[in-house]
Amino acid sequence: MDNSELQPIFDFMRKLAPFDMLHEQTIKQCCKALTIVYYSKSQKLVHVDTNEAQLYIVRSGAFEVSTQQGELIDRIGEGQFFGFSGMLSGEKVVNQVHILEDGLVYHLPAKIFDQLRADCYQFDRFFNRAFAKRLRDQGSLNRSAINTARITNIMSKQLTTISPKASIHEAALLMANHRLSSLVVEENGQLCGILTDRDLRNRVLAKGLDGNTLVTTAMTKDPATIETDSLIFEAMLKMSENNIHHLPVMSENQPIAMITSTDLIRSQSSQPLLLIGQIQRQPDLESLIQVSQKIPDLLYNLISSDAKASEIGRILTSVTDALTRRLISLKQQDIGPEPMRFCWLSFGSQGRQDQMAGSDQDNALILEKETNEQEAKYFKQLSEYVCSALNECGFPFCPGNIMAQNPEWQLSLQQWLQQFSQWIKTPDPTALLHASIFFDMRPICGDIRLFEQLQKSVLSRTCNNDIFIAAMSQNALQSTPPLGFFRSFVLERDGSEVKGIDLKHKGNALINDIVRVYALSAGIEEVNTNKRIQSLIKQSAIDKELAMNLLDAWEFIAHKRLINQGHQFDHAQTVSNYILPDSLSSLVRHQLKDAFKVIYEAQSTIKLKFLRQF
Amino acid sequence: MFQQWHLQYKLKRLINNTKSNKPTHLKTHYQYLLTQLHQPIVNLNLLALDIEMTGLNHKKDEMVSIGVIPIINGQIKPKYAQYKLLKIQGSVGQSATIHGVHDRDLTEALATSEIIEWLLQQCQDKVLVAHHALLDIQFLEQALLKLGGPIQQLFAIDTLQLEKQRLNRKNQYIKNGELRLNACRERYHLPIYSAHNALTDALACAELLLAQLNKMGGLDNIKLQDILRKY
């Protein structure tokens, strides 16, 4: 052991993202380079020395970053950072940092910070994302600006080079072996030029030269280049301005990578609209499976661009909807048009438009009338194909078998109406379980009038139906949110301690349940929790303050859930809804606790309102 | 006011008595203290120190390890943190279970005389800071005595005393264990470190001092003479 090593600092830093991605030796060097400063509330502001930039790492305490005009940009707690914007943009920071709670802050000199960014691409990416988020919060970058990512995120890690004195034959062989369309021509670490497919065609083959021609005669000399810290957007601009497809990426005057127009196109392809467009164009299941592998990337990009959780849910669901429709139409090309009117329904998270990673499928069919053997066979073929295709595309089969391929859920409109009225008349536990899934229904494909008839009839039966609503309320109160945190545990209301929180079942699902009770009682057609709340407010069917708090709580918990999933994705862990309190800063713990409190209050309110209980 | 005169008087006397700067750097250290007495802490160099020992009796027990970390102008500098092991006569014995230093670790240890030399060099332009400084100072003074020469007196800022005064001022009854390093840190919401490594404790003490001084009115208001004590 190095005797002068400070164990507590090292222990803290090695668990701190993005430092946790660095080599142990590098972390130790960071620890030595830090200075530790104590900030007290009585000082009010952190004096940020603009001439000596540094990264501020909060070890304890709480801080608030705002613009000079006093507009809030960020709140920062334990394990978070400030002071990096200036180092990334090279501009002087004019933000103010207020001290909310006394605490220790580690200062990391700019020189070390820059070195780490240059050496570790994930480290750099971490801060560039945080920076992009800040900018957006300041309003200087709007949400549609998707091209703020740096080229470091997309360029390939390996650089294949060739000497100018090599032969064209060697170069072509190298390109063929590495499946490359271009090479960087380099001598003693200095860039001499680039050699592309087009150069081989235009300067060698077209001129009748042979394979012994030297690279130096065929290459493009003095190519346009781009610096490693450029934005993807800037690379696009440079390529289109110069009408070229290859750009060597330079760092300290040395080529470190090659970026191609294909890289740029690929980097944009996980955008939702493009993805949906691709889905609509795919000719067969195999290629659809291929395309749907980009859905996790889309989710990840959306998370890192810090979109609202409710928006992410809607975007992801629209991708699933498009996929479902494309699958139905693919199968219909095969087995012909439907023998009678039908409507493909989705339930659960797809119904509510709040799908996230790993959502399973919940779907069913409404048919115009009861089927004969022939017709039944048609819908069996169609639904079995679509359900298993969805499964292969990453939407696992529903464990409760609530799927269109299950004959139990291929019902005629008449049968659906009977089914619903039975659930509503005798709300036993199974009926209520079904109700919580089936009442969040949305038409995906087919004849929408079938759905409308069903929904209208169902709502007319639930609206002001005291007995049914009371049973639904009872059901929504089965589970309560945790009370908060105690040390590294989650504290349940009964005083027991558990290790992690299931943000879905102890958070968002509880809010969905509460809002569903309100919506069914008021006869509201919307199924998306967010939209249900909006409609409830419009109809004055809910206390406005409670409603707004529920909206905030839903968004906050869903956002945390997504961030957590993004983190899991980043660290190649299984994506789940579980979050460990240890991974939360004290500020987030407080906020989560508040969100749980809102849920608990809302549960108390429905108890009073629909169950007449105190 | 009286304390200030007393410190000045003591320091001047020590400087006059400490001829030829022997042991090395001690006179320089006294001179530094004397000239800085009226300075606010933010302008000073401090050296937070912690010593692990085989026991609590300075007459009988021995020092095992020393950790130091400087505070320069109110900023703690891990870069200059140092940790030294000491050669001892006996065995670390049962005390190993507390500070984690075992006999086998002591092969690269320095002799007490070398350690004193090194420490005095470290603090020739710095003020010593320790938690429960009395204990550390007793061991250091004992070591100086063993090196021959007249009885030397050392000065330090004691974070335990500062905490005790603060609690007394608030008329709080101090319960057993409430002045321990981690207990004090908890009162300032400082992170809790596993204790009893000399360097970790020196860091913990340094951070505690900054927190205390901020509560007492800030590093630019508190002067050295307000908090320095003679041992």
Distance from CA of B210 to the nearest CA of A (A): 6
Closest chain B CA to residue A43: B218
Q: How confident is the model at residue A136 (pLDDT cuts 50, 70, 90)?
A: very low
**Higher-pLDDT residue of A240, A439:** A439
Handedness of CA A444, A449, A454, A460 (dihedral sign): positive
Give dist(CA A595, CA B69) in Å, integer.
43
Q: How confident is the model at residue A486 (pLDDT cuts 50, 70, 90)?
A: low
Residue A44 pLDDT > 90, yes or no?
no
Residues paired with A136 in a beta bridge: none
Average pLDDT over residues A142-168: 70
In one-letter notation, the amino acid at residue B80 is Y
The answer on A262 and A297 residing in a single domain is no
Considering only CB atoms, A6 lies closest to which of B81, B188, B215, namely: B81
**Predicted local confidence at residue A4, as pLDDT:** 61
- CATH number for the domain including B162? 3.30.420.10
Percent of all residues in chain A with a pLDDT value above 70, rounded to a whole number: 90
The answer on A505 and A584 residing in a single domain is yes
The answer on A484 and A458 residing in a single domain is no
Measured in degrees and rounded to the nearest 5, phi and psi for residue B50 equal -140, 140
| CA distance between the termini of chain B | 19
Closest residue by Cα to residue A3 from B54, B114, B199, B70: B199
A449 within domain boundaries:
yes
Number of other CB atoms surrounding residue B6 within 10 Å: 12
Domain that holds residue B9: 2-230
**Predicted local confidence at residue B179, as pLDDT:** 92
Tokens of A383: 């639904």
The answer on A324 and A442 residing in a single domain is yes
Residue A360 pLDDT > 90, yes or no?
no
Q: Which long-range contacts (CB under 8 A, 24 or more apart) does A138-146 make?
A: A138/A67, A138/A71, A138/A73, A143/A305, A143/A307, A146/A268, A146/A271, A146/A305
A1 within domain boundaries:
no
Give dist(CA A231, CA A151) in Å, integer.
6
**Predicted local confidence at residue B98, as pLDDT:** 63
Top residue of B49, B86, B188, B216 to mutate, by most chain A CBs within 10 Å, is B188
Q: How confident is the model at residue A270 (pLDDT cuts 50, 70, 90)?
A: low
Average pLDDT over residues A583-604: 81
A469 within domain boundaries:
no
Tokens of B164: 């005790």
In one-letter notation, the amino acid at residue A222 is D
Residues paired with B187 in a beta bridge: none
Residue A79 pLDDT > 90, yes or no?
no
The answer on A383 and A456 residing in a single domain is yes
**Higher-pLDDT residue of B212, B195:** B212
Domain that holds residue A214: 151-267
Alpha helices in A444-571 (DSSP H): 448-462, 466-476, 509-522, 529-538, 544-570
**Predicted local confidence at residue A139, as pLDDT:** 39
Considering only CB atoms, B190 lies closest to which of A6, A32, A60, namely: A60
Residue A131 pLDDT > 90, yes or no?
no
**Predicted local confidence at residue A121, as pLDDT:** 81
- CATH number for the domain including A51? 2.60.120.10
Closest residue by Cα to residue A365 from A402, A331, A414, A411: A411
Average pLDDT, chain A: 84
The answer on A134 and A169 residing in a single domain is no
Q: How confident is the model at residue A141 (pLDDT cuts 50, 70, 90)?
A: very low
Q: pLDDT for A292-312, tens place per residue?
A: 888 887 887 777 766 778 878
Residue B212 pLDDT > 90, yes or no?
yes
Instruction: Point out the domain boundary residue: A85, A113, A138.
Output: A138
Closest chain B CA to residue A37: B75
Give dist(CA A85, CA B23) in Å, integer.
51
**Predicted local confidence at residue A245, as pLDDT:** 87
Tell me if A503 sits within 8 A of A512, measured CB to CB: no
- CATH number for the domain including A224? 3.10.580.10
HSE (side-chain half, CA atoms, 13 Å) at B40: 13
**Predicted local confidence at residue A537, as pLDDT:** 93
Q: pLDDT for B46-81, tens place per residue?
A: 999 999 998 888 888 889 899 999 999 999 999 999
Task: Give Cβ neighbours of residue A420 (< 8 Å, ≥ 6 apart).
Answer: A438, A454, A457, A458, A461
A143 within domain boundaries:
no
Tokens of A431: 């009926």
Tokens of A399: 């464990």
A532: helix, strand or coil: helix
Task: Give Cβ neighbours of residue A8 (< 8 Å, ≥ 6 apart).
Answer: B191, B193, B194, B200, B203, B204
The answer on A491 and A349 residing in a single domain is no
- CATH number for the domain including A578? 1.20.120
**Higher-pLDDT residue of A16, B171:** A16
Tokens of A66: 């705002």
The answer on A412 and A263 residing in a single domain is no
Domain tally for chain B? Answer: 1
Inform me whether the C-beta atom of residue B135 falls under 8 Å from chain A C-beta atoms: no
Q: Is A34–B214 a contact, with Cβ atoms under 8 angstroms apart?
A: no
Q: What is the ipTM of this complex?
A: 0.89
Instruction: Point out the domain boundary residue: A215, A236, A267.
Output: A267
Give dist(CA A308, CA A561) in Å, integer.
12
The answer on A389 and A249 residing in a single domain is no
The answer on A186 and A95 residing in a single domain is no
Residue A268 pLDDT > 70, yes or no?
no
The answer on A323 and A201 residing in a single domain is no
Top residue of B210, B215, B222 to mutate, by most chain A CBs within 10 Å, is B210
Domain tally for chain A? Answer: 4
Average pLDDT over residues A522-546: 91
**Higher-pLDDT residue of A483, A506:** A506
Q: A-side interface with B, Cβ within 8 Å?
A: 3-9, 12, 31-38, 40, 42-43, 59-61, 101-104, 107
Tokens of B147: 């090196």
**Higher-pLDDT residue of A87, B226:** B226
Residue B91 pLDDT > 90, yes or no?
no
The answer on A540 and A406 residing in a single domain is no
